[in-house]
Amino acid sequence: MTNPTAPENITLKANEWLTGNYDDSTKKAVQELFDNPDHTNLIDAFYRDLEFGTGGLRGIMGVGSNRMNIYTVGAATQGLSTYLKIAFAHLPQIGVAIGHDCRNNSRLFAETAADIFAANGIKVYLFEDLRPTPEISFAIRHLGLQSGIIITASHNPKEYNGYKAYWDDGSQIVEPHDENIIQEVLKVKVDQIKRNGPTNNISILGDEMDQEFLKNVVTVSLSPEIIKRQKDLKIVYTPIHGSGVKLIPMALAKLGFANIIHVPEQDVVSGEFPTVISPNPEEPAAMKLAIEKAIETNADLVMASDPDADRLGIAIRNHQGEFILVNGNQTVLIFLYYIITQRRALGLLKGNEFVVKTIVTSELAAEIASKNGVEYYDCYTGFKYIAEVIRENEGIKQYIGGGEESFGFMPSDFVRDKDAVSSCSLMAEIAAWAKDQNKTLFDILLEIYAEYGYSKEKMKYVVRTGKSGAEEIEQLMVNFRLNPPSQLAGSPLAIVKDYLTLEEKNLSSNTMKSINQKITANVLQFFTADGTKVSVRPSGTEPKIKFYIEVKDTLTSSDQFENLEAKTNVKIDQVMKDLGL
């Protein structure tokens, strides 16, 4: 097979890095890509510029316009600075907060961005060390700033890093600002990046902001008296080497939990993530050490956060006393069930409350809300869209919770992004609430299924890297639009929703209606006659196309659960075959 040679547009772009104002080590690395007869890595490094997706800027670390490095971070920061000065030209001083997680180069990228913001005359509030993502969102709101960033690649493998940008309400940037910022970033040449900003434009944030954040975190508690009774609940918590290591145990202690058990090997802060292949609480391997510690200590609950402490993973005991992992959909259901149930019991439901879920999250979340008279909203994947719903209802309706299937939940609106610090705190309270009734979280989950219907979900993704991979993913979406499946697991297709055209087609009545979303998105959804739901979308931050599958059934008694799980797993397997997966 002939080694691929980079096309002219890519070599021209790469040559700019060889001749431009880049440091010697960067030029040397680019030259090595040129010198390799196989230009695959050169093509992947330069075939595009990193773009803001649902989670901001994210990519593999290395040289090139399609890589995370001080120059792509620099261009993003310069472009963001320029746009901030346009958008907030009426203010005498613009301010931003900067945080970072545990990843390799995260502190370097954070300090690089701080210097560039400062050189642009923007006041910078830089956290002294790694901090959870939700605290950066909180700090923007608390200090009345106009923007902020956190350097993180969330739960991705160690080769990755990223750059999440936030607006003045503490939410990740949405349209039109995201597209406008991209346009400013694309204009930036390396010589136009301002540097060597005045140090008096940079203030350091530390313990004082932590304490303000934690004061708000403890307000998510609905039942402090239950925690007092169950303060010795045994909780194993792991930060998986990340930024939850300090604040999540502090939050649990402030709520009154007195028996927090650590996983010492994973309390080690490291961008190498030495105990896991992937620092993702969705992955069983990442939870293995924590579950082993829970078995050893006879714990009640296992909780984990990802490197930037916005995602929450939990493991609970089933009726056989074995720890099982709870998926992201189930976590959302448990949260919403508890919040609504307790608010009703405490007389806190006034009739103007609402919850939010993303379109790929279990439809049972909508059932829980609807059957309890609580308004719910569907939005696109990404907490920036949940935050947008909150913003649109500010001062009119009360947000009481929202989440998505990818292990994210936001219990309150003092943060405008997914928040593992608050979520761990509230989940521990829910476990205490269950124990106070001589139940477990597993019992609570079964009660939800019995009352609102049973569903089983699975997310399957297909990875296609590089330029050719992006093209293949695009073609897969085209093919599904042109040739949707006629049936899934024996049930005929009933409804197709296409968020690129914002049209919903009912196949049985052959009618069309509009989908109530403000913007389009490259997402397809298939609904069958028996309630099966499949959502297909390319990831906005990773080289993946994702398939979200949900099948439904009925749980009439708890002893049916295992058989129902097996039955629906078989059905999901068939759905995947019908999709060609």
Q: Which helix (H) or strand (E) holds 303?
A: strand 301-305
Tell me how far apart the alpha carbons of residues 550 and 566 are, in angstroms, rounded to a whole number: 14
Supply 58's token pair. Answer: 């994210």
Other residues' Cβ atoms within 10 Å of the Cβ of residue 155:
24
Residues 6 or more apart whose Cβ sits within 8 Å of residue 254: 214, 217, 218
**In 256-327, where does DSSP find H-type helix?**
284-297
Q: Is 346 helix (H, G, I), strand (E, B) or coil?
A: coil
Asked if omega into 176 is within 30° of 0 (cis), the reply is yes
CA distances 59 to 33, 71, 179, 393, Å, are: 18, 13, 19, 34
Active site residue 154: yes
Helices (H) and strands (E) in the chain, counts: 18, 23
Q: Which region, left, alpha or beta, applies to residue 546 given φ > 0 means left and ψ of -120 to 50 means alpha?
A: beta
CA-CA-CA-CA torsion for 437, 284, 546, 486, nearest 10 degrees?
-70
Q: Which residue of the set 81, 106, 137, 154 is catalytic?
A: 154
Question: Which DSSP category does 506 fall into?
Answer: E
CB 104 within 8 A of CB 272: yes
- Beta strands 375-379; 353-358: pairing state: parallel
Q: Which region, left, alpha or beta, applies to residue 57 given φ > 0 means left and ψ of -120 to 50 means alpha?
A: beta
CB 119 within 8 A of CB 204: no
CA-CA-CA-CA torsion for 549, 555, 560, 564, nearest 10 degrees?
-20
CA-CA-CA-CA torsion for 533, 525, 366, 441, nearest 10 degrees?
50
Give me the residues paired with residue 524 across strands. 498, 536
Residues 6 or more apart whose Cβ sits within 8 Å of residue 497: 503, 504, 505, 515, 523, 524, 525, 527
Please measure the distance between the N-terminal and C-terminal CA atoms of the chain and give it in whole angstroms. Answer: 28
CB 457 within 8 A of CB 329: yes
Tell me how far apart the alpha carbons of residues 312 and 291 are, in angstroms, rounded to a whole number: 15
Other residues' Cβ atoms within 10 Å of the Cβ of residue 101:
30
Active site residues per annotation: 154
